[in-house]
Structure 1
């Protein structure tokens, strides 16, 4: 049975947390303040520590600082319990080596989910790569080599199946992990002050997501929502940091990925400002196919040279009208009208929510 140390100075809160964890069941050790928490940690060597931040005498930051310098307890997973949401407070904790946060008030499902996920990930590994960790090697290969290397990445990290519309993270949240889309589709969304949504990016199988906030050590500036049921691999931020700190080639690769995303976003904004909606719809159709239904370039070239008419035809693509609208940056009614025009001109076929590209060449020419 796993042992969890709960350090919380509010008796009612501490008792409630302990009761929920004991029902799970876990063995629970309780401490009423930071100083007592240090003593209990050294006595019991817990598998996980839940610790409040605001406590008299020795606060949560002090507890974490002391434990991270103790060789016997330095790798024990550590989750802060806090009612604070300011970015500066999150940054302090993450810089000290916290693994996660739980914002008060939280329900029993949220608590048990965070505990289970952290225990599955195991203790924090040191950032010294001399140990030649198998999972770090796998992560390095997946980042640099892609293709086959990415397929085996989730053998070393926990993979979770999420339902459609699940949000991997939301704007303003603090990044604690890198996400890898093992299977599925998602969208990157920004929302303006009055609630209008704009899709700034699409995520498909084999993509990493969430690394922008990890690299800048700042809260998320967007939200990632799944477009279908998906399998997502969760990689602790400490593993990515280990590679970035010790392997410049990995840092360079992420810098290139980030630069590419910035360039693509700038291009999208420019087209939003000056392109007609008709051209933006054509661009969106080709982008969705490119991201979610890619075909090998060698096959496309061979089909085209051989005169195969299927070269210009895609697999049926499924996306809601609202998502097409958010991706194009125009009203739903306008996008539906233009899709109807493209169907009448023989460029696409529409069957319910499914759209099939019938002529890539015409669509590509249209968006120029």
Structure 2
């Protein structure tokens, strides 16, 4: 007889599910919260797990995250139970490695059908990740390659178009995926307890987003928000972990990327501590130009330049005043005043929210 673990904090719901499963018949093990569910899973080694999402202390995402790291339970079919039918919940759960969703309320036929299907598929589930599968091979090659060779990822993983200001993840949430920016712009933002924000990094065309928390196996400490309408490829965390476990070269590449990011952030912090706000504004202008506009291949892929036209530095930069302020680490009023000074000196041109750099060498050489 198959054993099913039901993790549900609502007593009535927990009892109803158990009665239906026992009539099927299945052996049913019950847990009233996430922590108890993990203990019962490790003790009973169930054939399938049904788990509520919204639970106190440890929610369903946390349960799945912990169980997927346990070699003895990583391949057990896992079905989320939720009263929330929002797309973001479905995507987050599936990216984390869930096998299916049941949206409350559901009837006995729906419940038993989902259980039977997942138990059947579970028989064919490999006990270990297949590190040399076509999908993982493509992912490995993309991670180890240069940015302009990574777009093959979008042939292997789902790509979604998001609107400006969409948040890929927020501070405090657990990593469920690695994100590849096929097209668009992203800012990483940290906020203090007073709500003051600072943009720690800008990412765009060809960049991978969200690997810091994934590597540390800890919640995100920042927020990833889109600056433009963007195309984003979503790579499940299970595939990344498979490569990290079986491919040392991939782990080394992520470590190099992380070390480079830390070094760049330390340099920005040092400059922020000792440079004038005027110099920091100039540095922010150059940073945006380097990140989003300095590669001719990126311009052409976005339709900015024809193939036979060489790159020049007259492409307008576009950020809101608030984003310029968060990037510089100064008040919006101060940043606007300094931008006006730079325009008066003939170093930049301002047209609404667009800024054109007229003399990059002088901006880079500002001493005060």
TM-score computed with the length of structure 2 as normaliser: 0.74
Does 2:5 align with 1:32? no
Instruction: Give a deviation string over 1:146-175, Cα, whole Å, max 9, x none.
Output: 345311101111111211111111111111
Q: Which runs of 5+ in 2 are unaligned?
A: 101-120, 300-309
Q: 1:289 to 1:173 in 2, by over 3 A?
A: same
Does 2:53 align with 1:81? yes
Q: What corresponds to 1:226 in structure 2? A: 226
Does 2:88 align with 1:95? no
Asked if structure 1 preserves the Cα contact closer than 8 Å seen for 2:9 and 2:52, the reply is no
How many angstroms does 1:113 deviate by?
Answer: 5.1
Asked if structure 1 preserves the Cα contact closer than 8 Å seen for 2:203 and 2:291, the reply is yes
Query: Helix, strand or coil for the counterpart of 1:355?
Result: strand
Query: Helix, strand or coil for the counterpart of 1:233?
Result: strand
How many angstroms does 1:183 deviate by?
Answer: 1.2
Residue correspondence of structure 1 range 173-212 to structure 2 within 5 A: 173-212=173-212
Residue correspondence of structure 1 range 216-255 to structure 2 within 5 A: 216-255=216-255
Q: Which runs of 5+ in 1 are unaligned?
A: 16-29, 43-50, 300-309
Q: What corresponds to 1:337 in structure 2? A: 337
How many angstroms does 1:363 deviate by?
Answer: 1.1
CA–CA distance in 1 between the matches of 2:79 and 2:223? 18
- Which stretch shifts more, 92-101 or 254-263? 92-101
CA–CA distance in 1 between the matches of 2:20 and 2:252? 40
Count of residue pairs brought into register by the alignment: 324
Asked if structure 1 preserves the Cα contact closer than 8 Å seen for 2:77 and 2:99, the reply is no
Instruction: Give a deviation string over 1:187-240, Cα, whole Å, max 9, x none.
Output: 000000110011001110111111111111111111111111111111111111
Residue correspondence of structure 1 range 1-368 to structure 2 within 5 A: 8=8, 10=10, 31-32=17-18, 54=32, 59-61=36-38, 65=42, 81-85=53-57, 92-96=66-70, 97=74, 106=84, 108-112=86-90, 127-129=128-130, 132-296=132-296, 313-366=313-366
TM-score computed with the length of structure 1 as normaliser: 0.74
How many angstroms does 1:39 deviate by?
Answer: 6.6
RMSD over aligned Cα, in angstroms? 4.1
Q: 1:34 to 1:232 in 2, by over 3 A?
A: farther
CA–CA distance in 1 between the matches of 2:127 and 2:79? 20
Asked if structure 1 preserves the Cα contact closer than 8 Å seen for 2:161 and 2:230, the reply is yes
CA–CA distance in 1 between the matches of 2:202 and 2:152? 23
Q: 1:108 to 1:326 in 2, by over 3 A?
A: closer
Asked if structure 2 preserves the Cα contact closer than 8 Å seen for 1:312 and 1:358, the reply is no
CA–CA distance in 2 between the matches of 1:244 and 1:138? 14
